[in-house]
């Protein structure tokens, strides 16, 4: 009896270990394959990022980014050369056509996931980068195209970075670091760098956001003093360098004389001037489908005991908007 039980347990154990696709060995092999793929894709992103900056990656920069010993970096580079993803020329590393295509796919996946996590999952902005980093390795081109379409084909992620198109086109990042902005006039925040994480957390803690109009009041070697017309912000230069700004477009100049829709009083009418730059993807498409376009008259009509969401009348239809949504629609009181 004991021998029979022992044989049965042995067979079960062997099955658990060796059974195809679901056994422990199969699971471990799948894990190692996925881990190797992530390593390659992280390396491709690093090379693409360097090339976008007008520089080239090196074994040293790659090892620093991946936190990998030199010997492992050398083997990784050799493997990627064998796969036709990069070329070594002296101490510089260059993406091949196939390497660039794959790198664009990963960057597109990352930024679309960030857009989804911010707009639809409503995840705090300081957490979306890490979560997108985890998810970016698992989508096919077809799945990315579906996600892109569902989000309304957004052009930029929540930090202001351009999202590559399905054809692999990547728009040039706009703006310049706040530390390099010399004009005394207003500027629009077009990018918030999310690395290093500590600097990004300080930017968010200060209350700065993408699309915000600011003006520099004063600067010295210890801090840069900003204002948006109501609030003053103080940033250390090292942190301010992670905020990129650009000159205001005409639409933003018109926004200067407008107020957020959320500030309209009950039954006060307003004319929509512009949708905030932070409104992207599916949310922007939904706003436009609801008729929330420049020149349209809108006003709050029904009171809500809890205050949120609030009902607005637009084009003869009653719609409900949350406070955070109404704060992204700029209107001129009539």
CATH code (residue 77): 1.10.10.10
| Mean model confidence pLDDT for the chain | 87
* Residue 222 belongs to domain with CATH number: 2.30.30.90
User: What pLDDT, on a 0 to 100 scale, did the predictor assign at position 269?
Assistant: 93
Q: Summarize the confidence of residues 259-284 as an average pLDDT.
A: 86
Residue 162 within any structural domain of the chain: no
Question: Has residue 92 got a pLDDT over 90?
Answer: yes
* Residues 54, 73 share a domain: yes
User: What pLDDT, on a 0 to 100 scale, did the predictor assign at position 23?
Assistant: 59
Residue 49 within any structural domain of the chain: yes
Residue 239 within any structural domain of the chain: yes
Strands 310-314 and 317-321, bridge-based pairing: antiparallel
* Residues 269, 200 share a domain: no
Q: Summarize the confidence of residues 230-256 as an average pLDDT.
A: 86
Residue 323 within any structural domain of the chain: yes
Identify the residue whose tokens are 């493997």: 79
Distance CA 79, CA 99 (A): 12
Residue 312 within any structural domain of the chain: yes
* Residues 271, 223 share a domain: no
Q: Report whether 302 contacts 319 (CB < 8 A).
A: no
Radius of gyration of the chain (CA): 25
Question: Has residue 213 got a pLDDT over 70?
Answer: yes
Q: Report whether 199 contacts 190 (CB < 8 A).
A: no
User: What pLDDT, on a 0 to 100 scale, did the predictor assign at position 281?
Assistant: 75
* Residues 91, 57 share a domain: yes
Q: By residue range, what is the domain housing residue 216?
A: 176-248
Q: Summarize the confidence of residues 257-262 as an average pLDDT.
A: 88
Residue finishing a domain among 68, 95, 122: 95
pLDDT, greater one: 54 or 21: 54
For residue 183, what pLDDT band results from cuts at 50, 70 and 90? confident
* Residues 224, 199 share a domain: yes
Residue finishing a domain among 43, 78, 95: 95
Q: Name the strand (E) or helix (H) holding 214.
A: strand 213-219
Label residue 221 left, alpha or beta by phi (over 0 means left) and psi (-120 to 50 means alpha). Answer: alpha
Distance CA 120, CA 123 (A): 8
Distance CA 199, CA 178 (A): 14
Q: Report whether 227 contacts 215 (CB < 8 A).
A: yes
Distance CA 194, CA 133 (A): 12
For residue 266, what pLDDT band results from cuts at 50, 70 and 90? confident
Quote the tokens at residue 322.
Answer: 């949350």
* Residues 268, 221 share a domain: no
Question: Has residue 206 got a pLDDT over 70?
Answer: yes
* Residues 88, 10 share a domain: yes
For residue 261, what pLDDT band results from cuts at 50, 70 and 90? very high
Angle at 323 between CA 319 and CA 329, to 5 degrees: 70
Q: Quick check: helix, strand or coil at residue 187?
A: strand
User: What pLDDT, on a 0 to 100 scale, did the predictor assign at position 251?
Assistant: 64
* Residues 89, 9 share a domain: yes
Q: Name the strand (E) or helix (H) holding 197.
A: helix 197-206
Residue 168 within any structural domain of the chain: no
Q: Summarize the confidence of residues 108-116 as an average pLDDT.
A: 95
Question: Has residue 15 got a pLDDT over 60?
Answer: no
Residue-wise over 31-64: b if at least 16 C-beta within 10 A, else e? eeeeeeebbbbbbbbbbbebbeeeebbbbebbbe
Peptide bond into 309 cis (omega under 30): yes
Residue 123 within any structural domain of the chain: no
Residue 193 within any structural domain of the chain: yes
Distance CA 251, CA 239 (A): 28
Residue finishing a domain among 78, 95, 112: 95
pLDDT, greater one: 208 or 24: 208
Identify the residue whose tokens are 């039980």: 5
Distance CA 330, CA 260 (A): 5
Q: Report whether 194 contacts 129 (CB < 8 A).
A: yes
Q: Summarize the confidence of residues 27-39 as an average pLDDT.
A: 69
For residue 30, what pLDDT band results from cuts at 50, 70 and 90? low
Question: Has residue 151 got a pLDDT over 80?
Answer: yes
- For residue range 35-72, list pLDDT tens digits in order: 788 999 999 999 999 998 888 899 999 999 999 999 99
Question: Has residue 306 got a pLDDT over 90?
Answer: no
* Residues 281, 236 share a domain: no
User: What pLDDT, on a 0 to 100 scale, did the predictor assign at position 185?
Assistant: 83
* Residues 322, 270 share a domain: yes
Q: Summarize the confidence of residues 253-273 as an average pLDDT.
A: 85
User: What pLDDT, on a 0 to 100 scale, did the predictor assign at position 11?
Assistant: 66
* Residues 228, 271 share a domain: no
- Domain count across the chain: 3
Question: Has residue 29 got a pLDDT over 80?
Answer: no
User: What pLDDT, on a 0 to 100 scale, did the predictor assign at position 47?
Assistant: 95
Q: Quick check: helix, strand or coil at residue 223?
A: coil
């Amino acid at each position: 009896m004991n021998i029979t039980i022992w044989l049965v347990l042995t067979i079960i154990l062997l099955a658990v270990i060796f059974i195809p696709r679901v056994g422990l060995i199969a699971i471990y092999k799948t894990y190692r394959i996925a881990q190797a793929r992530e390593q390659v894709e992280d390396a491709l992103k690093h090379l693409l990022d360097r090339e976008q900056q007008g520089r080239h990656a090196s074994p040293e920069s790659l090892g620093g980014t991946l936190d990998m010993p030199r010997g492992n970096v050398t083997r990784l580079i050799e493997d990627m050369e064998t796969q036709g993803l990069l070329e070594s020329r002296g101490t510089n590393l260059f993406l091949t056509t196939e390497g660039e295509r794959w790198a664009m796919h990963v960057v597109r996946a990352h930024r679309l996931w960030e857009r989804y996590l911010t707009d639809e999952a409503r995840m705090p902005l300081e957490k979306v980068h890490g979560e997108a980093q985890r998810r970016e390795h698992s989508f096919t081109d077809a799945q990315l195209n579906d996600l892109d379409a569902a989000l309304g084909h957004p052009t930029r992620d929540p930090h202001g970075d351009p999202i590559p198109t399905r054809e692999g086109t990547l728009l040039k990042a706009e703006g310049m670091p706040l530390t390099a902005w010399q004009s005394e006039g207003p500027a629009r925040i077009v990018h918030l760098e999310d690395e290093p994480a500590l600097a990004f957390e300080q930017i968010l803690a200060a209350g700065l956001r993408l699309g915000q109009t600011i003006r520099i009041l004063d600067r010295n070697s210890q801090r840069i003093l900003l204002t948006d017309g109501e609030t003053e912000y103080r940033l250390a230069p090292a942190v301010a360098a992670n905020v990129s700004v650009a000159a205001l477009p005409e639409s933003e100049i018109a926004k200067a004389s407008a107020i957020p829709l959320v500030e309209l009083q009950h039954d006060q009418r307003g004319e929509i001037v512009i949708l905030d730059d932070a409104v992207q993807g599916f949310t922007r498409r939904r706003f436009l489908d609801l008729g929330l376009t420049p020149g349209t008259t809108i006003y709050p009509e029904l009171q809500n005991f809890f205050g949120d969401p609030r009902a607005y009348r637009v084009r003869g239809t009653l719609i409900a908007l949350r406070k955070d949504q109404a704060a992204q629609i700029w209107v001129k009181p009539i």
